[in-house]
């Protein structure tokens, strides 16, 4: 039992050497800032509290927090504060560098520090606790205790919340807490065989007992019986007679999975990939080539005794990177797929070990690796780096702050260079690998007869079929079509909860809202004109595209790969012919062996993001497509109404490297002129309410507060109705804060309230979808 030997009681607060009681500021994995407690009574003198986990009183019970700071208690507040109960760790669980980083991220993003901890996946903060209380002998307070005995340890839940609160305040209760570890029941030997087990009839029992002594323990009676080859009744007899007994032992943690083992080795670094001492970036090439290009830098960091944390946007990519890097370097692997306990064990183990390369998802960012020298953010332009649960953090920026707090460097990689890559990776230390050469065919959809598939696409697809090769076709959405409605008057089935049309899922014969999940059968007649000819309207989804292709080549194997359906693609990886129809989810697939055609059915949706990053997004998509092929260059067929789009022309050009660089220069210039990131930092403030006028009024109230706080006109844009004004029955208005430096943004965010009467306010610093507010 981990219980503190001396539980807390009514003793006077422990005194600091200056005579002032110690206070500790504690963070919890909750959307809260630090809360203050008096330090536990158990600490030895001079031990550092910062970074250790601590058990504290919490409402009617107890919970675990992390000490963010230790200080002298504010004058006059010592008596208001409650004592923390005990520390869980001997040594800091999280280093000062990581705590500084949490604070920096919290201040810059307006996300409460506790939520930063939770969002970045710091483990070990929600263990199961066994809480016990012991009431003091105090006749005056007897009525508070009710029937409860004094002087004995009782389960904490025997006391009501109010009673515990009063007893704590009066110092009439001791409390003890221990972490409950998962246990399992095992059979262990208790005595050696003696005369009672002599004789032929007890031979089985004797054999089982000898076996159990040899093994030390058995999982169950049945397991021991099998092992010793005796009937189970013999083992049961041993338990009955007291030769063996069941005991609860701590269940061992399943080991944390390591990086996957690969057959092939990561290639040697390409020429031109040099050691980068400080910040840097790697762009161009393929994912593998970018990892290879990092090798000299990572090896040099390790040789200098410094660890590296490599953060991928998705678990699949983390796994791939960990596997590849592990063929060259000592790699540890950590993603959110591991249990909290496994991650906690790794956090506890890392500081004492040697320098490592820790590869994982964003939950690896705050891992206490020894001597952090560098953070690498892979695929920095990937939208998944914007976290959508917990605090809305943008991982590359968070990584930059974690690196800064530790005095470490930051390296970003991406398939195409972007303004963000140059700004954060340092213009000096970049490696630009050759871009993949693509064979591009642009199919102009304007005025074309073919919808949703252009005749050129059908033609090349039939060639793929004829030659028994493979094709991938990207559709802009899952389901059958963007909308379902009346062929006569154009009525579209709307979602009852959101300002969106319902998506048509033909396979199931249902209409579904992809925002709120509303699901309904197909209407029989048009509610507007009464017509009975209802059907798919515009916007072909994966189902529609696949059905068209199946009609064009009956019998040719077709696969779907999107959020609704992930078909088993193993025949394709075995080299068999087929076509995959999917959303951008297919960009994560491993390269296909016989890929000869990649088609984008509506390139325009990638440009229509109504965001200043849309062009770079579109470019990334086109270049990532090239990574889906091994060896041979597939044909990239792009259907579009905008054949002149710069990103498309750049990848199709004879010298894509030069064209992409020109594109980048133009983007940088545009962003500077219009005051977009990375020259400014943006924050999106979303105000939602149950009714439209309430949301409108509350959004204007936020804007007013900003102006009162001194915001200039060019710093506050909006409010305007959100692009989708109503989602799940709530209306949203949004405004944008634009600050030319981060300290300014921090100041402006301080003027934004957490909530207003009847309305919720959500702040999103470094948003990914800004809308057209700045146009």
Partner DNA sequence: AACGAGAGACAA
Partner DNA sequence: TGTCTCTCGTTC
CB of 4 to DNA, least distance (A): 18
Q: Is 72 in the site for DNA (CB under 7 A)?
A: no
Q: Output 177 or 291, the one with its CB closest to DNA.
A: 177
- The answer to whether 285 and 270 have CB atoms below 8 angstroms apart is yes
Token duo for residue 654: 């004879």
* Element at 150 (helix H, strand E): none
Q: Is 171 in the site for DNA (CB under 7 A)?
A: no
Q: Output 161 or 489, the one with its CB closest to DNA.
A: 161
Q: Is 36 in the site for DNA (CB under 7 A)?
A: yes
Q: Give the position of tokens 């059905």.
A: 547
CB of 758 to DNA, least distance (A): 4
- The answer to whether 727 and 498 have CB atoms below 8 angstroms apart is yes
Q: Is 30 in the site for DNA (CB under 7 A)?
A: yes
Residues 77-96 that bind DNA (CB under 7 A): 80-82
- The answer to whether 274 and 296 have CB atoms below 8 angstroms apart is yes
Give dist(CA 609, CA 48) in Å, integer: 50
| Selected range binding DNA among 57-65, 144-152, 264-272, 533-541, rule: CB under 7 A | 57-65
Exactly one of 4, 35, 116, 457 binds DNA (CB under 7 A); that residue is 35
DSSP state of 740: S
Exactly one of 10, 20, 32, 456 binds DNA (CB under 7 A); that residue is 32
Q: Output 73 or 405, the one with its CB closest to DNA.
A: 73
Q: Is 115 in the site for DNA (CB under 7 A)?
A: yes
Burial label for 533, CB within 10 Å (0-12, 13-18, 19+), is exposed
Residues 751-770 that bind DNA (CB under 7 A): 755, 757-758
CB of 13 to DNA, least distance (A): 12
Q: Is 649 in the site for DNA (CB under 7 A)?
A: no
Count of residues in contact with DNA, rule CB under 7 A: 21
Q: Is 31 in the site for DNA (CB under 7 A)?
A: yes
Exactly one of 79, 142, 161, 489 binds DNA (CB under 7 A); that residue is 161
Burial label for 198, CB within 10 Å (0-12, 13-18, 19+), is exposed
Q: What is the DSSP string of 556-608?
A: S-EEEESSS-B---HHHHTT--EEEEESGGGGGSPPBTTEEEEEES-THHHHT
| Dihedral over Cα of 516, 522, 523, 528: its sign | positive
Give dist(CA 715, CA 752) in Å, integer: 13
Calculated CA dihedral for residues 32, 38, 42, 47, nearest 10 degrees: 80
What mask of x and - would describe binding to DNA in positions 361 to 400, judged by CB under 7 A? -----------------------------x----------
Q: Is 169 in the site for DNA (CB under 7 A)?
A: no
Q: Output 32 or 635, the one with its CB closest to DNA.
A: 32
DSSP state of 363: G
- The answer to whether 413 and 380 have CB atoms below 8 angstroms apart is yes
CB of 82 to DNA, least distance (A): 4
Q: Which residues, in sequence order, are CB contacts of 474 under 8 Å at separation 6+?
A: 582, 583, 584, 586, 598, 599, 600, 601, 625
Exactly one of 59, 446, 524, 570 binds DNA (CB under 7 A); that residue is 59
Q: Output 538 or 690, the one with its CB closest to DNA.
A: 690
CB of 739 to DNA, least distance (A): 25
| Selected range binding DNA among 56-64, 193-201, 274-282, 527-535, rule: CB under 7 A | 56-64
- The answer to whether 698 and 774 have CB atoms below 8 angstroms apart is no
CB of 33 to DNA, least distance (A): 8
Q: Output 27 or 445, the one with its CB closest to DNA.
A: 27
Q: Is 136 in the site for DNA (CB under 7 A)?
A: no
* Residue ranges in contact with DNA by CB under 7 A: 30-32, 35-37, 56-60, 80-82, 115, 161, 390, 690, 755, 757-758
């Amino acid at each position: 039992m981990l219980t503190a030997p001396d539980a807390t009681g009514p003793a006077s607060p422990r005194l600091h050497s200056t005579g002032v009681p110690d206070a500790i500021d504690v963070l919890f994995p909750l959307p809260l800032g630090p809360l203050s407690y008096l330090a536990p009574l158990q600490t030895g003198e001079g031990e550092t509290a910062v970074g250790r986990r601590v058990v504290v009183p919490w409402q009617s019970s107890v919970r675990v927090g992390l000490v963010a700071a230790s200080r002298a208690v504010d004058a006059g507040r010592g008596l208001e504060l409650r004592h923390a109960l005990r520390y869980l760790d001997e040594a800091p669980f999280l280093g000062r560098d990581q705590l500084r980083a949490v604070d920096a991220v919290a201040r810059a993003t307006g996300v409460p520090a506790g939520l930063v901890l939770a969002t970045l996946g710091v483990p070990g903060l929600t263990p199961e606790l066994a809480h016990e209380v012991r009431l003091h002998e105090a006749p005056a307070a007897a009525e508070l205790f009710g029937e409860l005995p004094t002087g004995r340890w009782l389960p904490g839940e025997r006391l009501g919340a109010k009673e515990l609160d009063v007893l704590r305040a009066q110092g009439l209760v001791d409390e003890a807490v221990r972490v409950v570890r998962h246990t399992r029941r095992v059979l262990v030997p208790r005595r050696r065989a003696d005369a009672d087990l002599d004789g032929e009839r007890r031979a089985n029992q004797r054999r089982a007992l000898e076996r159990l002594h040899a093994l030390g323990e058995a999982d169950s009676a049945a397991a021991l019986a099998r092992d010793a080859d005796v009937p189970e009744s013999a083992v049961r007899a041993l338990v009955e007679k007291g030769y063996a007994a069941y005991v609860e032992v701590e269940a061992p943690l399943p080991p944390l999975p390591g990086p996957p083992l690969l057959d092939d080795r990561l290639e040697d670094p390409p020429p031109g990939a040099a050691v980068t001492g400080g910040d840097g970036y790697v762009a161009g090439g393929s994912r593998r080539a970018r990892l290879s290009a990092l090798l000299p830098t990572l090896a040099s960091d390790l040789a200098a005794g410094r660890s590296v944390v490599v953060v991928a946007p998705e678990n699949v990519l983390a796994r791939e990177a960990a596997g590849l890097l592990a063929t060259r370097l000592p790699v540890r692997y950590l993603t959110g797929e591991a249990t909290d306990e496994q991650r906690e064990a790794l956090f506890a183990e890392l500081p004492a070990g040697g320098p490592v390369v820790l590869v994982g998802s964003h939950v690896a960012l705050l891992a206490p690796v020894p001597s952090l020298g560098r953070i690498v953010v892979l695929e920095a332009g990937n939208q998944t780096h914007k976290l959508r649960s917990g605090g809305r953090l943008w991982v590359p920026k968070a990584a930059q702050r974690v690196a800064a707090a530790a005095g470490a460097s930051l390296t970003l990689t991406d398939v195409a260079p972007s303004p963000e890559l140059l700004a954060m990776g340092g213009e000096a230390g970049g490696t630009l690998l050759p871009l993949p050469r693509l064979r591009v065919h642009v199919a102009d959809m304007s005025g074309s007869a073919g919808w949703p598939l252009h005749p050129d696409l059908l033609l090349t697809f039939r060639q793929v079929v004829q030659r028994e090769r493979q094709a991938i076709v990207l559709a802009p959405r899952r389901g059958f079509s963007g909308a379902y409605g009346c062929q006569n008057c154009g009525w579209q089935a709307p979602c009852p909860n959101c300002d969106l049309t319902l998506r048509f899922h033909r396979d199931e014969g249902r209409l579904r809202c992809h925002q709120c999940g509303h699901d309904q059968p197909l209407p029989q007649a048009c509610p507007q004109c009464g017509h009975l000819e209802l059907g798919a309207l515009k916007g072909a989804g994966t189902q529609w595209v696949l059905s068209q292709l199946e009609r064009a080549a009956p019998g040719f194997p077709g696969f779907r790969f999107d959020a609704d359906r992930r078909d088993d693609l193993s025949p394709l990886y075995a080299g068999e012919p087929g076509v995959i129809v999917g959303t951008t989810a297919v960009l994560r697939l491993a390269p296909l062996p016989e890929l000869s055609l990649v088609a984008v059915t509506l390139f325009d949706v990638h440009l229509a993001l109504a965001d200043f990053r849309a062009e770079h997004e579109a470019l990334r998509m086109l270049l990532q497509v090239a990574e889906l092929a091994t060896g041979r260059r597939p044909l990239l067929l792009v259907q579009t109404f905008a054949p002149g789009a710069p990103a498309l022309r750049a990848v199709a050009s004879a010298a894509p490297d030069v064209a992409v660089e020109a594109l980048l220069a133009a983007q940088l210039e545009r962003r500077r002129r219009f005051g977009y990131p990375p020259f400014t930092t943006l924050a999106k403030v979303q105000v939602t309410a149950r009714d439209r006028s309430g949301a409108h009024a509350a959004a204007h109230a936020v804007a007013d507060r900003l102006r009162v706080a001194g915001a200039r006109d060019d710093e506050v844009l909006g409010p305007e109705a959100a692009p989708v004004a109503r989602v799940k029955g709530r209306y949203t208005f949004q405004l944008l804060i634009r600050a030319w430096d981060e300290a300014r943004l921090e100041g402006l965010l301080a003027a934004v309230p957490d909530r207003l009467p009847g309305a919720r306010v959500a702040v999103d610093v470094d948003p990914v979808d800004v809308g057209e507010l700045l146009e």
